[in-house]
Amino acid sequence: MSEPASVPEDPSTVRLHREGSVGRITLDRPRAINALDLGMIHAIAAALDGWEHDVDIALVLVDGAGERGLCAGGDVRGLYEQIVSGRADLTGGFFRAEYALNARIAEYPKPIVAYADGITMGGGIGLAGHAAVRVVTERSKLAMPETRIGFTPDVGGSWLLGRAPGRVGEYLALTGGTMDAADTIYAGFADHLVRSEHLDDLRDAFVTRADPETPTELVLLFDETAPASALEAARPWIDAAFSADTVPEILERLRARPEADAATTADLLEGLSPTALTVTLDAVRSARTLPSLRAALEQEYGLVLWFALTQPDLPEGIRAQLVDKDRSPRWQPATLADLPADLGARALAFEPETALWS
């Protein structure tokens, strides 16, 4: 019998339960595909704090309500409203709380299992991508689609992207491409494929603690071999193009490739924010050299505030994609040729007024 735990924030958007020795966190905004707001972040963090020293809790399970997905991302509309109302200064508080939660998940002393079933994007990657055991299903669709709104991957996404095989990280970061289960495992965003109809059985196994006992060993009882990854098959042209030093050179190489997917990718990139593409390329490559997830989150914190406080492309991208939905953003500058050569370095050097780890 599930016993609801005390919920410090809005109980209608996060449900907490004790199920045997399992602490279960269920995101419960199914109409919004469980998109994260600040209250949800606080509620999840408080649950982890409470369960850390609870001797009766051995494992934490994170999942999402509804059939559509674990989490579609963060509160992008709220970010837009802050910027256009002249209150972009409020943005830092949201990201500090979110990034602290991302780091907490990665460093938690008890195993955290995440069900990235269905749509898991942006902020959802921040929850699932850093868990100890990351489960995807045949319905999973994972992505870091921030460049589509004139932004850059965050929530530790640059850390994961920087460690993907070959130049897959640059490809996924710049295009915002969606991965299926096989791709997520290949790219290092997930560990196991379990069919969606078996997720409840797996949860029951965690609760009953049948032999074998570790979460990974239990997942392996339900794990299926993932099919071939399309990303892996595309590595020859992805690596050849996305190893170029700059975005214009990447585009040039894509145009020179014989593969139809390379040409389609070039068409996609040419419609995205030149600023977002340029900064994102440098960010992923910088993250590849960083020593820890916390260091990557700190770098991302500076970048997101640079975008929110200084760049018109972020509110314009949100407007075009999510507010007016005209899909016709007017980027400033409009072309790669109009960007200063040191744009990426400038963005990476931006220093927020308030530190992330305060």
pLDDT score at 75:
85
19, 37, 98, 146: the catalytic one is 146
Let me know if 232 is a catalytic residue: no
Q: Closest Cα partner for 59 from 20, 103, 4?
A: 20
The model's pTM is 0.94
- Mean pLDDT over the full length of the chain: 94
pLDDT of the residue at 128: 98
pLDDT at residue number 235: 98
pLDDT given at position 11: 53
pLDDT over 60 (residue 105): yes
Alpha-carbon Rg for the chain in angstroms: 20
Pairing of strands 14-19, 3-4: antiparallel
Share of the chain above pLDDT 90, in %: 89
Q: What is the pLDDT of residue 210?
A: 64
Is residue 2 pLDDT above 50, yes or no? no
Between 76 and 292, whose confidence is greater?
A: 292
Q: Is 7's pLDDT higher than 60? A: no
Least confident of 2-16, 35-49, 218-232: 2-16
CA distances 124 to 72, 140, 217, 227, Å, are 6, 12, 25, 23
Q: Kindly report the backbone phi and psi dihedral angles of residue 151, in degrees, each rounded to the nearest multiple of 5, phi listed first.
A: -130, -165
Beta bridge pairs of residue 63? 26
Please confirm, yes or no, whether 157 is among the known catalytic residues.
no
Inter-residue contact 151 to 83 (CB < 8 Å): no
Distance separating alpha carbons of residues 166 and 260, to the nearest angstrom: 20
Catalytic one among 98, 154, 300, 313?
154
Residues of the chain with pLDDT > 70, as a percent, come to 96
Selecting among 69, 92, 118, 123, the annotated active-site residue is: 123
Predicted confidence band at 156 (pLDDT cuts at 50, 70, 90)?
A: very high
Domains and CATH numbers, the chain: 3-348 (3.90.226.10)
Active-site residue, 123 included: yes
**Which pair of tokens denotes residue 189?**
């965003």
Q: Which helix (H) or strand (E) holds 276?
A: helix 274-287
- 23 catalytic? Reply is no
Residue 12: band (very low, low, confident or very high) from pLDDT cuts 50, 70, 90: confident
